Amino acid sequence: MIAFLIIIGVLVCILALIGTLLVGKDISSQLKEYEEKGDTLENEIKRSHEYESTSLQVNVKSLTWIYVALGLITLFVCLGILIY
């Protein structure tokens, strides 16, 4: 039983890492796309302000859900080990 709970905990941690990497990859691809366009300074400033506002709405929200789920599952795994 304990081994099963530990395996679940490890798998959840791996899934959280993969989710974090996917969010980071999305941000990196957006930055590369902007660099390839080579826009003017005014457009870069406009994109910077848009990124600051959308980053908090999208990326931080996604990462928050990933780590809240990770924390809850880890808590349940630890409680399961203690109870067992």
Provide DSSP, 17-58.
HHHHHHHHHHHHHHHHHHHHHT--HHHHHHHHHHHHHHHHHT
Condensed to tens digits (0 to 9), the pLDDT of residues 10-27 reads 888 898 889 889 988 988
So what's the pLDDT on residue 71? 86
Condensed to tens digits (0 to 9), the pLDDT of residues 42-63 reads 777 887 787 777 777 777 888 8
So what's the pLDDT on residue 18? 92
Model's pTM, two decimal places? 0.64
Give residue 77's pLDDT band: very low, low, confident or very high (50, 70, 90).
confident
Average pLDDT over residues 22-39: 81
